[in-house]
Amino acid sequence: MRGALDCSSGNNQKTMNRAVRILRIINAEKSEFNEDQASCGKLCIRRCEFGAEEDQEWLTLCPEEFLTGHYWALFDGHGGPAAAILAANTLHSCLRRQLEAVVEGMVAAQPPMHLSGHCICPSDPQFVEEKGIRAEDLVIGALESAFQECDEVIGRELEASGQVGGCTALVAVSLQGKLYVANAGDSRAILVRRDEVRPLSSEFTPETERQRIQQLAFVYPELLAGEFTRLEFPRRLKGDDLGQKVLFRDHHMSGWGYKCVEKSDLKYPLIHGQGRQARLLGTLAVSRGLGDHQLRVLDTDIQLKPFLLSVPQVTVLDVDQLELQEEDVVVMATDGLWDVLSNEQVARLVRSFLPGNREDPHRFSELAKMLIHSTQGKDGSPTGEGQVSYDDVSVFVIPLHSHGQGSSGH
Amino acid sequence: MRGALDCSSGNNQKTMNRAVRILRIINAEKSEFNEDQASCGKLCIRRCEFGAEEDQEWLTLCPEEFLTGHYWALFDGHGGPAAAILAANTLHSCLRRQLEAVVEGMVAAQPPMHLSGHCICPSDPQFVEEKGIRAEDLVIGALESAFQECDEVIGRELEASGQVGGCTALVAVSLQGKLYVANAGDSRAILVRRDEVRPLSSEFTPETERQRIQQLAFVYPELLAGEFTRLEFPRRLKGDDLGQKVLFRDHHMSGWGYKCVEKSDLKYPLIHGQGRQARLLGTLAVSRGLGDHQLRVLDTDIQLKPFLLSVPQVTVLDVDQLELQEEDVVVMATDGLWDVLSNEQVARLVRSFLPGNREDPHRFSELAKMLIHSTQGKDGSPTGEGQVSYDDVSVFVIPLHSHGQGSSGH
C-alpha cells in the first residue's frame, strides 16, 4: 500500500459555546474519542460472465481477481463515531459489488447498450457514442450507487443497534489509469505538482448547497414544521426589524433583494451562520454524508435527513495523461486540516518536504504526519502561521508516480 | 445607441420531419414570420428617497434620471411570436421597476442591511460584509425578479388575449461599469477580445438541465401522468429490450449504470433526443424562458410549464477592470447563429472584420449583418464552412470601448 495515513485525535480543549435558543450544536464539545475514521486497501473486482445459454442467469465464472485498483477513504463522524466506523468497514464492499455488476461494460472499448453485449438494435453503439458514454461513467455511477447503498446499510445497522450518528465520506479510487475522487461532505482532496495545485473535490455544506436546501423547504414546507424560515438574511431578524425592508435571498436567487419583514421572517433560519459556523437547522455543518437517519433538531420532531444527500460528487483525474513527476501527490484530508491550512499552504509544505527526503522509504507517511503536526501547534511547526486545529485531523498522501509498475500499481 | 442589431427572417425551407408517435415537435415547420424579437435602449433609473418622517412611506423625491445604463435583449419565440413580442415590450420596464426598488442600496458603498439606511443592530454592516453582499448582487437579484415578473405579465396577457407561445430571453445590461448578462434559454453571449474568447452565458436545455428536470418528476410523478418515464436511456426502449440490463441514468446520477428493463421503462422519455434534437416531453427544446403557461403535450393534459424556469443565470463582467481595446466586443445571438458557428469561428470573423473597417461609423452594425449573412449560405460567405442556418438569427454586437465617454456610455 503506497498511501500514507496518519490520524490525530487532537482534542485540544474546545471552548465553543454558542447557545442557540432551543438548539444545541452537534460537536460543539468534541467527544472524547476520535470521530475520524479511515480505510484503504487493494480493490479486487471479480469478473462475471454471461452463461452460454441465453436463459441462464449471470454466472461467476472467474471468481479470482480480474481488475484491481486501490481505494482510500476518510470519514469524519459527528454525533459519535458509530456511522464513521460502519462506513469504514462497509463502503469498500459496496463499491466492489457495484463495480462487479458493471465490470463487463468497463472493460469494453465502449460500454455496450446491453450489459450482455447482445446488440438488439444495430445502431446501439452509435446511440451510446452520441451520448458520450465512456467506461469512466460506469465507475462514477458505481461510486454514486455505492455511497447510497452504504448509507442504507448504516441506517439499518444504527437502528438495529440503537446507535446514532453520521459522517462525511471522501473516497479516492485508482482504477484503469484514472483516479476517481468521490466526496460527500466537507473533507477535501487536492492534487499537488511542482507547478500546479488542483482541487479534486468541492465541499458540501449548508452554505454551498443553500439553493438545493431552500428549494426542498419550498417544495415540502412541512419539513420545517412552522419552526424555521427558509429565507436567508444577513443575520437573524428580531422584533425591531418588523416592517423594515431588509436584505434577503430565496431558493431561486443567486443575487440579493430587499423584502419587508413579516412576523414569520423572525423564525430561526433554515441555514444560519457564516463559513465554519454555518448550520443546517441549527444542527449540522455538512449537507452531504452518510448516516444521520435518526437525527432531529433538539427537542423537536424535525428531521435533518430529508435535507441530506448521500450521493457524492465525483471528479476524474486522468493520471495516464499527466506527465507524472516523482513528487506528484494527492493530499486527502478531513476539514481539521483545511480549517487551518489553505491548498497553497499545503502545497508549499509538500514541495518543501519531499525533495529533502528522497531516500526515506516512508517519506509519504512522514509527510502526512508532518501535515498533521503543523495543525497541532507543536513546537517547530513548519507553517509558522500559528493556527491550531481543535478538530480531529486525518490525512492521506497518495503518490501518483508508479515507478514503472503500471497504472494499477498506485 | 451603440449596439448594433440585425435580424434575419431566414426561413429557408425547413424540412424537419421527425414524426414522434403522438407528439408533434413545436417549430418543426418554422412559422411564416420571424419568431425572434429584440429590444435595446437606455435604462433610466429614478431615485426614491425616504421621507423625513420615520412613519412616512417611500416618496419619489427625484423623479428625474438618477442612474443610467444600457439594455439589450434578444427573445427567440416558439409556438408563435406572441410571447417574444410581449417580452420585448415588457421586460425592460420590469427591470427598471426592480432596479428602482433597490437603487438606494446599489449606490451605497455597501448595500445596507435595511434599505432605509437605519442601523438597527450596530454590527449590521459587519453581517453584510461577512456575507460578501455587494451592489452587483442587488442588480443580479433585480434581473432575477424582473424575469419572473415579466413571465407573470406574459402569462396574464396571453390568457387574456387567447394567444399562446413562449420565448427564450437573453439580456445584457451595462450599469455602473459592469456588464450583466442574464440568460434563460439557448441564446448565447460571448466576449471577443484580441487574445480571448470568453463565454458570458450558459445554455439551458433539457440536456443541460437533465438532473433538475428528472428530480422534479421524481418529486411530483403526477406531472408525467403515467405517460412518460423520467429515466434516461441511450435510445427509446422497445419490447425486445424487456428483461435486458441496459444503460440508464436517474436524477441523482452523473454517471451511468445498468438496470433491468421493466415495462414502465418503455414509456416515452421525459427528455428525449440528442443535442439540437433533445426535447422536453417530446415538445420543447429549451428548459428556461418566458411564457408557455398554456403549453401541453399534444393531445394530452400534460403541462410543460412546471418544468420550465423563468429565472435566468446572471454573469457579471467587470468592464472597468478590463484593459479595454478599441475592438473588444460582446456578441449576443439567438441559437440560429450558434447552431452553425462556434465561439471561435465568430471570434475569427469579428477579428478579421473590425480592423479593416475602422473608419466606418456603422461597422458594428455591419459586423452584425455580416455574421447573419455568414449563416445564410449567401455567396461569398466568409466562413467558407458551408453550414447554413434554417432558423431565425438575431445578433447584437456591443462595443465595450467607451471612447472616453465613461463607463455609463456603453
CA separation for the pair B64, B17 (Å, rounded): 54
**pLDDT of B89 over the 80 cut:** yes
CB contact under 8 A, A141 and B116: no
How confident is the model over B343-355, as a mean pLDDT? 96
Q: Which are the contacts of B313, defined by CB distance < 8 A and separation ≥ 6? A: A254, B182, B183, B184, B201, B202, B204
Looking at residue A47, its pLDDT comes to 78
CA distance A132 to chain B (A): 10
In chain A, residues with a C-beta closer than 8 Å to the C-beta of B255 are 136-144, 314
In chain A, residues with a C-beta closer than 8 Å to the C-beta of B139 are 255
Q: Identify the weakest region by mean pLDDT among A33-42, A263-272, A339-348, B57-66.
A: B57-66
How confident is the model over B168-185, as a mean pLDDT? 97
CB contact under 8 A, A256 and B116: no
CA separation for the pair B97, B139 (Å, rounded): 12
Yes or no: say if A389 and A337 are a contact pair by the CB < 8 Å rule.
Answer: yes
In chain B, residues with a C-beta closer than 8 Å to the C-beta of A116 are 244-245
In chain A, residues with a C-beta closer than 8 Å to the C-beta of B256 are 111, 133, 137-138, 140-141
Terminal Cα distance for chain B, rounded: 8
CB contact under 8 A, A246 and B114: yes
Q: Identify the weakest region by mean pLDDT among A131-145, A190-204, B287-301, B386-400.
A: B386-400
CB contact under 8 A, A145 and B274: no
Q: Which are the contacts of B20, defined by CB distance < 8 A and separation ≥ 6? A: B268, B272, B282
Query: Bigger pLDDT: B66 or B254?
Result: B254
Q: What are phi and psi of B196, to 5 degrees?
A: -155, 140
All three cell numbers of A191, joined, read: 492534487
Looking at residue A49, its pLDDT comes to 56
**pLDDT of A403 over the 60 cut:** no
How confident is the model over A180-200, as a mean pLDDT? 97
All three cell numbers of B287, joined, read: 428548459
CB contact under 8 A, B130 and A244: no
CB contact under 8 A, B240 and A114: no
CB contact under 8 A, A253 and B102: no
Average pLDDT of chain B, as a whole number: 86
Looking at residue B33, its pLDDT comes to 59
CB contact under 8 A, A105 and B258: yes
Residue among B137, B255, B309 whose CB faces A137 most closely: B255
CA separation for the pair B275, B210 (Å, rounded): 12
How confident is the model over B227-234, as a mean pLDDT? 97
| Segment (H or E) for B363 | helix B363-373
CB B220: neighbour CB atoms within 10 A? Answer: 12
CA separation for the pair A353, A370 (Å, rounded): 9
Collapse the DSSP code of B205 into the 3-class scheme (helix H, G, I; strand E, B; otherwise coil) and give the result. Answer: coil
CA distance A254 to chain B (A): 7
- Render B94-131 in DSSP notation, one character per residue: HHHHHHHHHHHHHHSSS--SBTT---SSTTHHHHHHHT
Q: How confident is the model at residue A275 (pLDDT cuts 50, 70, 90)?
A: confident
Average pLDDT of chain A, as a whole number: 86
**pLDDT of A63 over the 70 cut:** no
**pLDDT of B122 over the 70 cut:** yes
CA distance A304 to chain B (A): 18
Give the pLDDT confidence of B190-215 residue by residue, as tens digits: 999 999 999 999 999 999 999 999 99
Looking at residue B81, its pLDDT comes to 94
Q: Which are the contacts of A364, defined by CB distance < 8 A and separation ≥ 6? A: A2, A3, A4, A329, A397, A398, A399
Kindly tell me the burial class for residue A180, based on how many C-beta atoms sit within 10 Å of its own C-beta (0-12, 13-18, 19 or more). buried
Q: Which are the contacts of A396, defined by CB distance < 8 A and separation ≥ 6? A: A3, A4, A5, A38, A40, A72, A74, A172, A330, A331, A332, A333, A368
Looking at residue A17, its pLDDT comes to 23
Looking at residue A36, its pLDDT comes to 87
Q: Which are the contacts of B342, defined by CB distance < 8 A and separation ≥ 6? A: none
The residue of chain B with its CA nearest to that of A241 is: B120
**pLDDT of B11 over the 50 cut:** no
Q: How many CA atoms lie within 13 A of A28 on its CB side?
A: 14
Looking at residue B275, its pLDDT comes to 87
In chain A, residues with a C-beta closer than 8 Å to the C-beta of B238 are 121
How confident is the model over B159-185, as a mean pLDDT? 97
Looking at residue B36, its pLDDT comes to 87
In chain B, residues with a C-beta closer than 8 Å to the C-beta of A146 are none
CB contact under 8 A, B274 and A130: yes
In chain A, residues with a C-beta closer than 8 Å to the C-beta of B54 are none
CA distance A17 to chain B (A): 20
| Segment (H or E) for B338 | helix B335-338
Q: How many CA atoms lie within 13 A of B380 on its CB side?
A: 1
Q: How confident is the model at residue B407 (pLDDT cuts 50, 70, 90)?
A: very low
CA separation for the pair A3, A113 (Å, rounded): 36
CA separation for the pair A47, A27 (Å, rounded): 43
| Segment (H or E) for B151 | helix B135-161
Looking at residue A376, its pLDDT comes to 81
Task: Give me the residue label for grid cell 436524477.
Answer: B251
**pLDDT of B50 over the 70 cut:** no
Collapse the DSSP code of B381 into the 3-class scheme (helix H, G, I; strand E, B; otherwise coil) and give the result. Answer: coil
CA separation for the pair A77, A284 (Å, rounded): 11
How confident is the model over A67-78, as a mean pLDDT? 96
User: What's the count of helices (H) and strands (E) in chain B, helices before strands?
Assistant: 7, 17
Residue among B120, B127, B246 whose CB faces A114 most closely: B246
All three cell numbers of B137, joined, read: 448582487
Q: What percent of chain A has pLDDT over 90?
A: 77
Query: Bigger pLDDT: A403 or A36?
Result: A36
Residue among A240, A254, A313 whose CB faces B144 most closely: A254
Partnered with residue B174 across adjacent β-strands are: B70, B179
With CA atoms as reference, report the closest residue to B124 among A403, A244, A104. Answer: A244
**pLDDT of B22 over the 80 cut:** no
Yes or no: say if A165 and A79 are a contact pair by the CB < 8 Å rule.
Answer: yes
CA distance A178 to chain B (A): 15
Looking at residue A66, its pLDDT comes to 83
How confident is the model over A347-373, as a mean pLDDT? 94
Residue among A111, A144, A246 whose CB faces B247 most closely: A111
State how beta strands A268-269 and A228-229 pair.
parallel
In chain B, residues with a C-beta closer than 8 Å to the C-beta of A253 are 141, 144, 311
CA separation for the pair B394, B389 (Å, rounded): 12
Q: What is the DSSP letter of B311?
A: P
Residue among A241, A244, A252 whose CB faces B144 most closely: A252
What interhelical angle do A135-161 and A82-107 show, nearest 10? 150
Looking at residue A69, its pLDDT comes to 94
Size of interface A-B (CB pairs under 8 A): 149
Residue among A116, A138, A258 whose CB faces B255 most closely: A138
Give the pLDDT confidence of B306-335 residue by residue, as tens digits: 999 999 999 999 999 999 998 999 999 999
Collapse the DSSP code of B55 into the 3-class scheme (helix H, G, I; strand E, B; otherwise coil) and give the result. Answer: coil
The residue of chain B with its CA nearest to that of A127 is: B234
Q: How confident is the model at residue A136 (pLDDT cuts 50, 70, 90)?
A: very high
**pLDDT of B7 over the 70 cut:** no
CB contact under 8 A, A235 and B124: yes
Yes or no: say if B332 and B74 are a contact pair by the CB < 8 Å rule.
Answer: yes
The residue of chain A with its CA nearest to that of B116 is: A245
Yes or no: say if A269 and B131 are a contact pair by the CB < 8 Å rule.
Answer: no
Residue among A118, A219, A274 whose CB faces B130 most closely: A274
CA separation for the pair B188, B396 (Å, rounded): 11
How confident is the model over A189-199, as a mean pLDDT? 97
Residue in A49, A113, A261 to test binding to B, most B beta-carbons within 10 Å: A113
Q: Identify the weakest region by mean pLDDT among A89-103, A105-119, A285-299, B379-393.
A: B379-393
> For A138-176, b where at least 16 C-beta lie within 10 A, e where not — what string?
bbbbbbbbbbbbbbebbbebbeeeebbbbbbbbbbbbbb
Question: How large is the greatest C-alpha to C-alpha distance in chain B, in angstroms?
Answer: 77
Looking at residue B360, its pLDDT comes to 92
Looking at residue B4, its pLDDT comes to 37
Q: How confident is the model at residue B386 (pLDDT cuts 50, 70, 90)?
A: low
CB contact under 8 A, A116 and B244: yes
Highest mean pLDDT among A113-122, A283-292, B40-49: A283-292
CA distance A129 to chain B (A): 9
Instruction: Give the 3-state secondary structure of chain A.
Output: CCCEEEEECCCCCCCCCCCECCECCCCCCCCCCCCEEEEEEEEEEEEEEECCCCCCCEEEEEEEEEEEEEEEEEEEEECCCHHHHHHHHHHHHHHHHHHHHHHHHHHCCCCCCECCCCCCCCCHHHHHHHHCCCHHHHHHHHHHHHHHHHHHHHHHHHHHHCCCCEEEEEEEEEECCEEEEEEECCCEEEEEECCEEEECCCCCCCCCCHHHHHHHHHHCHHHHCCCEECCECCCCCCHHHCCCEEEEECCCCCCCEEEECCHHHHCEECEECCHHHCEECCCECCCECEECCCCECCCCCCECHHHCECCCEEEEECHHHCCCCCCCEEEEECHHHHCCCCHHHHHHHHHHHCHHHCCCCCHHHHHHHHHHHCCCCCCCCCCCCCCCCCCCEEEEEEECCCCCCCHHHC
Q: How confident is the model at residue B64 (pLDDT cuts 50, 70, 90)?
A: low
CA separation for the pair A335, A389 (Å, rounded): 9
Terminal Cα distance for chain A, rounded: 8
Q: How far is CA B400 from the centre of its chain?
A: 20
**pLDDT of A138 over the 50 cut:** yes
With CA atoms as reference, report the closest residue to B178 among B143, B126, B204. Answer: B143
CA separation for the pair A106, B250 (Å, rounded): 19
Looking at residue A392, its pLDDT comes to 85
User: Can you list the positions of beta strands (E) in B302-370?
Assistant: 313-317, 329-333
Q: Identify the weakest region by mean pLDDT among A304-318, B146-160, B375-389.
A: B375-389
Yes or no: say if A401 and A410 are a contact pair by the CB < 8 Å rule.
Answer: no
**pLDDT of A4 over the 70 cut:** no
How confident is the model over A329-354, as a mean pLDDT? 96
Q: Identify the weakest region by mean pLDDT among A107-121, B256-270, B395-409.
A: B395-409
How confident is the model over B229-244, as a mean pLDDT? 97
With CA atoms as reference, report the closest residue to A311 among B257, B344, B379. Answer: B257
Q: What percent of chain B has pLDDT over 90?
A: 77
